[in-house]
Chain A
């Protein structure tokens, strides 16, 4: 049963049918899915959600498909827990981590959005899926499309980390390495999308795809006991995740499932690619694009299309934004690993480093609930830390060698 009313332009409000389109014909604003909330209200209860399997589709009424889901039956409901050791290191009382470094099947939150995008693409009659990606999305589309029996053509920047290249190739997509940065790959794909009848998950399927990010927010609220944190630090590339977590909280409230959210949103970006941070800190209405230069390649989007909405969400909730240097990112990855046992990729390092900065700078108080969004897996970006974590202690297979070299 469908609860989709249609698509609506986020800028001018014009309405469109729920097809594979993504921009408003009139003002070029991006399109967003509109739901029949009146019919969902009362039908979608906490009890119903809790009775369903532990995956993203437990919130199916608030996701943009007409029929039954077909992709992603093991995706979502990732660990959410109190991180007291990291909290102690950062000097805060109530810290939580939402850990998508173990999202199924490709170890990043992208599995959420791709599961939704492919389910919708099938409904819309596509047999080939495609995307422009900084790596995690490439992995996710490659894997989930293989499982869904769809053809897959993936575009990546040519300088991507080896782990992310292998993590796509194993699923045998047509993998195209473009000699350019992500923004150039994306621009090329926008032009290719106009010429091919493919479902580009982050272009013509984007209104549906982006909705998948709401499940990250739904789960945080459910796992906190049907409430929301006072503060949440979200890594930002396009800015879409931050915006959609907030939308997720608002929808749960609208459906009567949680109290009024009073969550402040904070964006975390890498120094060398921080157009959203710049806009927030300077109070600017303009998001000025940059040429990315950072080890956090999964966040290296210099021209973030959701940047305006992310900046708005931050201002409206009295949040803030900050950036982390390459060195701070690596230190934060180590801190998270050594306090909580989580090996996250560079984007997670950005989140932890920025949270530390915001706490030390008194932007985030030390005695209120804080959630950190960890969205990807460290094993994919080993290059970033390989030279900063020491080496194994090498010994001979003798007790004397052990006694000589291994001291705790």
Chain B
């Protein structure tokens, strides 16, 4: 099934400047593979050479951090949204 994926500014050069694209797959992992198929080069930006998500990349399914779900194995269903967001800090007291 196809879902909407929100692409952060630093990666929009790879998606022809599109901030939102669609991708297909039953899990986050499969969505990432489909993104790579459509937009070659995207995966190596999100994942380190061993294939693991880089530590400063945060993925959210419907606003929930996938680290609170099943990481890359998190299931995806119709109507879900996946956001790719760089880690950000600050705003706190320290």
Contacts and interface: CB of A to CB of B under 8 A. Distances in A.
A406 to B, nearest CB: 38
Interface of B: 6, 8-11, 13, 19, 45-46, 54-58, 60, 63, 65, 67-68, 83, 85-94
A28 B9 contact: no
5 contacts: A187-B60, A209-B90, A301-B91, A347-B93, A375-B93
A238 B57 contact: no
A22 B11 CA distance: 13
Contacts of A30: 56, 86-87, 89
Interface stretch (A44-52, A229-237, A388-396): A229-237
Interface residues of A, number: 64
B56 A29 contact: yes
Given A28-B10, A308-B55, 10 more contacts: A190-B8, A194-B8, A201-B90, A235-B94, A237-B94, A240-B89, A288-B67, A300-B92, A301-B89, A305-B90
A11 interface: yes
A3 B94 CA distance: 26
A189 B88 CA distance: 10
A28 B54 contact: yes
A342 B91 CA distance: 24
A238 B89 contact: yes
Given A27-B56, A28-B57, A301 B92 contact: yes
A238 B54 contact: no
B90 A303 contact: no
Interface stretch (A67-75, A132-140, A246-254, A361-369): A132-140
Interface string A373-389: 10110000000000000
Given A26-B45, A194-B9, A375-B94, A239 B89 contact: yes
B4 to A, nearest CB: 13
B91 A28 contact: no
A187 B89 CA distance: 10
B89 A306 contact: yes
Contact of A186 (B19, B67, B91): B91
A186 B88 contact: yes
Closest 8 CB pairs of A and B: A202-B90, A237-B92, A305-B89, A298-B93, A238-B89, A241-B94, A305-B87, A23-B86
B89 A191 contact: no
A134 B93 contact: yes
A288 B89 CA distance: 15
Interface string A169-206: 00000000000001111110111001000000111001
A221 interface: no
A27 B47 CA distance: 8
Contact of B91 (A131, A241, A291): A131
